[in-house]
Amino acid sequence: MSNAISANLVKELREKTGAGIMDCKKALEASGGSLEEAEKWLRQQGMAKAKKKSERQTPEGVIASYIHAGDKIGVLVEVNCETDFVARTPAFKEFVKEIAIQIAAANPKFISKNDVPKAILDAEKNKIISTYKLENDENMDRIVQEKLEKFFIDNCLLEQPFVKDPSITINDLLCQRIAQIGENIVIRRFVRFQVGEELEESFPS
């Protein structure tokens, strides 16, 4: 290993990202030994790899459940992958568990921006325009878009900060796991139950 990149630095990056040893070494070398820049490098590489695999079919996977402490919140989630072999691996199962915990903690209503129904999106736009009195504001489109981004972060799973590491989003985590595991992975659907909630507040995906 290069004198400039210590084994401890590689280990620390690997523990933070879940990436392989050689990938961590490459990332640190490309980033001049900076952990922060190496994480960004790995994130970009993960997104590139995920994009290449995104068209692959994902007929396998698992359905997992998670009951939060106190038995007041429960989640069912289906996550798909390409092969049954990968579906049975600890790395894949751990990722599914991470997603279930995220859903329990952050209460998303949809998986991605594209899943938000047009009627809900239009209603949210109208609410923003009315709340901030933007009808005759020349910056209306920009302001509405900025406020919508906050709506997406609050309500769309892939846009949310990862509860275990808020420096990355769930989409970043997904890309990391695709790169790590080597197969396309799709979060297909989920449902979250909370004791006492109104039924109309639950949005199965």
**Which residue ranges make up each domain of the chain?**
7-53, 60-112+156-201, 117-153
Say what the pLDDT of residue 142 is.
Answer: 85
Distance CA 1, CA 106 (A): 41
pLDDT digits (tens, 9 = 90+) for 44-55: 776 666 667 767
* Domain 60-112+156-201 architecture: 2-Layer Sandwich (3.30)
Least confident range of 22-36, 85-99, 108-122, 181-195: 22-36
Instruction: Report the pLDDT averaged over residues 156-180.
Output: 94
Residue 139 identity: N
pTM for the whole thing? 0.75
Instruction: Report the pLDDT averaged over residues 148-158.
Output: 96
Distance CA 55, CA 13 (A): 29
SS3 content of the chain, % helix, strand, coil (to 5): 55, 15, 30
* Domain 7-53 architecture: Orthogonal Bundle (1.10)
Residue of 39 and 3 predicted with greater confidence = 39
